[in-house]
Amino acid sequence: MNTISIAGYSFHGALANGTLDIFGYLESCRYRYHLDTADIWNGMLGPDPEQYLQPAFLTKVRDAMRERGLRLVNYHADGCHPWEDDPAVRKQHAALAERHLQAAEFLSAETVRIDAGGRDRHWSPEQFDLIATTFRTWAKRAGDNGYRIGPETHWGAENYPDNMLKLAKAVDSPAYGILLHMGKDVDGTPDDYDRQLAPLAIHTHIDANTTFTRLDSALRILRDAGYRGCLGVEHHSAHNEYAEVAAQLAFVRRSTAALSLEAAATPGGNPLLNPRNERAHQKRK
């Protein structure tokens, strides 16, 4: 559980002001943050999928990852979710999702996130049927090609554990899972939320709130659920991103190291003093 990544969205502020692009992101992952993982948000590739989904551009991205020894632990694509109320938009999204899947496969993504769609608390029967059928098809494809796929606890109906558990049961594939954005409070406490959904997780997003308020608890929940995927650091403020990401990353590294040592914990103390003498000089006067 110790593999860590930085979600590309963490730098959306730098992307918006023109000071970072996908190649700077990859360089930062490898040499600023000393990771061997990339966690690509499609927005980091550029504003126009007609350009960034071209084979020539994707080849440059793939080569840049290879040069830096990075593996793509997750490819998350916005704007191509299966359900939209307008049938014409659904058709457009289906075509765009196909191109994103081709891109993810070309880049050797280990997991892929595409949202489900549906903005209400629950999916209607029509919505659920289309979403489940689509993810069942995608999961078959993912399994055949050596990766896993699913939606994120991100927005709309997919934010709620009951919906995500129902969808997972309907898809029923070992190549299906969810990107768990940890620590939401839409259904009980953040711990309750994570505990319900951790068994479905194939990737994670750990935001600043979880990092600085309940990280040890969140990571224990993942560990107890048998999670072996990547811990994805995600920052949202759009300000001071290099330093803020570094701070979150340091906390995640510290917490994962501490958890790995828990089982092998040994008594502390000064090995050059016997316990009685050590206790004596620690007593309050």
pLDDT band at 262; cut points 50, 70, 90: confident
CATH number for the domain including 183? 3.20.20.150
The domain containing residue 163 runs over which residues?
Answer: 4-282
Mean pLDDT of the chain: 94
pLDDT band at 276; cut points 50, 70, 90: low
Nearest to 110 by CA among 67, 68, 72: 72
- 136 contact partners, CB below 8 Å, separation of at least 6: 170, 171, 172, 173, 176
Residue 155 has pLDDT above 60, yes or no: yes
Please answer whether residues 1 and 223 qualify as being in contact, where contact means their C-beta atoms are separated by less than 8 angstroms.
Answer: yes
Look at the alpha carbons of 189, 200, 141, 59 in this order and tell me if their dihedral is positive or negative: positive
Please answer whether residues 262 and 219 qualify as being in contact, where contact means their C-beta atoms are separated by less than 8 angstroms.
Answer: no
User: How far is CA 284 from its chain centroid?
Assistant: 48
Mean pLDDT of 11-35: 98
User: How far is CA 198 from its chain centroid?
Assistant: 12
Please answer whether residues 50 and 85 qualify as being in contact, where contact means their C-beta atoms are separated by less than 8 angstroms.
Answer: no
pLDDT at 63: 99
Mean pLDDT of 82-103: 98
Count of domains for the chain: 1
pLDDT band at 285; cut points 50, 70, 90: very low
- 183 contact partners, CB below 8 Å, separation of at least 6: 190, 193, 194, 206, 207, 209, 210, 214, 218
pLDDT tens digits, 97-149? 999 999 999 999 999 999 999 999 999 999 999 999 999 999 999 999 999 99
Q: What is the dihedral of CA 237, 241, 243, 244, to 10 degrees?
A: 30
Residue 282 has pLDDT above 70, yes or no: no
Beta bridge partners of 205: 181
Mean pLDDT of 20-24: 98
Residue 96 has pLDDT above 50, yes or no: yes
| pTM > 0.85 | yes
pLDDT at 147: 99
